[in-house]
Amino acid sequence: MEHGTPPTIAAIPQPPAARLIPAMLQTSLVLSYPDLPIINLTPGKLLITDQPAIVSTILGSCVSLCLHNEKLRVGAICHGMLPRQKKTPMDGYFPYLDTAVDHMLETLRSRFGITPSELRVKLFGGASVLQTNMLGADGFAIGQQNIAAALDALARFGLVPGVQKTGGTEGYKIFFNTSTGEVFVRRIAPTLAKGFARMMKLHFAH
C-alpha cells in the first residue's frame, strides 16, 4: 500500500483527501509524514480505517476519541458533540458519544477482528469554552458531560484512556495519524472555540 492512497472510511461519507500544502505544515506530526493525505473530520462524524492518513479536527466542548491497534495499524476517531443519544440521527452521523463509541468498537470487532483489549485509547476535548451552561443538563457544562459520557462508554468495555487531555477552558486542534496512533495537539484561539460551541448550541436547540 502506498502512502497517499485515499483511506477506506467506514460509516461516514468519504471526504476528499487533500494534499498538504505549505501553509498547513505547522506541526511536527504533519512534517514527519508529508506524503500522507489529510482529512478534516467535521462535528458528528467518525472515521475507521486501515489505511494511513492524518485526520484533523477542531474541538471546543466536543470530544474526540482516538483508537489504535498497533498490530494491524488500524485507527478510529470520532468527533462527539453531545453525551447521550436523545433522538435518532441521520444515517452516517454520530453526534452522540455513547452511540459513537459503541459503533466504533463494534465495527473494529466485526470488520477487523480487533477486541477492546487490543486498542490504545486517547481522549481529547471537552473544554468549557462558554460562560453559560449550554444545555443545562444535570448542572454541568456540556464539555464536562461529554468527557463523562466518553469515559462511561469506554468503561463498559473495560477501557480507560492511556492519554487524556480534556477539560479546561481552551479549545484544541488535533492531528491523528491513523497508522501509528500518534496525536499532535495544538491550542486554538478562544474565539474560534467559542464560535464552534455557539454553532452547536443553536444546532441542537431545535
Residues contacting residue 127 through CB under 8 Å, at least 6 positions apart:
59, 60, 61, 143, 166, 167, 168, 169, 170, 171, 172, 193
Predicted pLDDT of residue 86: 80
Matching residue, cell 478510529: 76
With respect to residue 66, please indicate whether it lies within any of the assigned structural domains: yes
With respect to residue 121, please indicate whether it lies within any of the assigned structural domains: yes
Instruction: Give 179's DSSP letter.
Output: T
The span from the CA of 18 to the CA of 40, in Å, is 9
Closest CA to 124 of 168, 83, 165: 165
CA distances 98 to 24, 79, 83, Å, are: 32, 12, 6
Q: Which domain holds residue 192?
A: 52-203
Predicted pLDDT of residue 94: 92
Quick count: other Cβ atoms within 10 Å of Cβ 205? 8
With respect to residue 101, please indicate whether it lies within any of the assigned structural domains: yes
Residues contacting residue 115 through CB under 8 Å, at least 6 positions apart:
109
pLDDT tens digits for the chain (206 residues)? 344 444 444 444 343 333 433 444 455 667 778 889 999 999 999 999 999 999 999 999 999 999 999 999 999 999 999 999 887 767 888 999 999 999 999 999 999 999 999 999 999 999 987 654 444 444 458 899 999 999 999 999 999 999 999 998 889 999 999 999 999 999 887 665 555 555 555 555 44
With respect to residue 92, please indicate whether it lies within any of the assigned structural domains: yes
With respect to residue 107, please indicate whether it lies within any of the assigned structural domains: yes
The span from the CA of 107 to the CA of 116, in Å, is 11
The span from the CA of 168 to the CA of 126, in Å, is 8
Predicted pLDDT of residue 128: 85
| CATH number of the domain bearing residue 75 | 3.30.1330.200
Q: Which three cell numbers stand for residue 143?
A: 464539555
Beta-strand ranges (E) seen in 14-157 are 38-40, 46-49, 54-59, 63-69, 74-78, 120-125
The span from the CA of 100 to the CA of 24, in Å, is 29
Q: Which three cell numbers stand for residue 199?
A: 454553532
In sequence order, the β-bridge partners of residue 54 are 38, 177
**3-state secondary structure at position 84:** coil
Number of domains comprising the chain = 1
| Whether 100 contacts 67, CB under 8 Å | no
With respect to residue 34, please indicate whether it lies within any of the assigned structural domains: no
With respect to residue 5, please indicate whether it lies within any of the assigned structural domains: no
With respect to residue 177, please indicate whether it lies within any of the assigned structural domains: yes
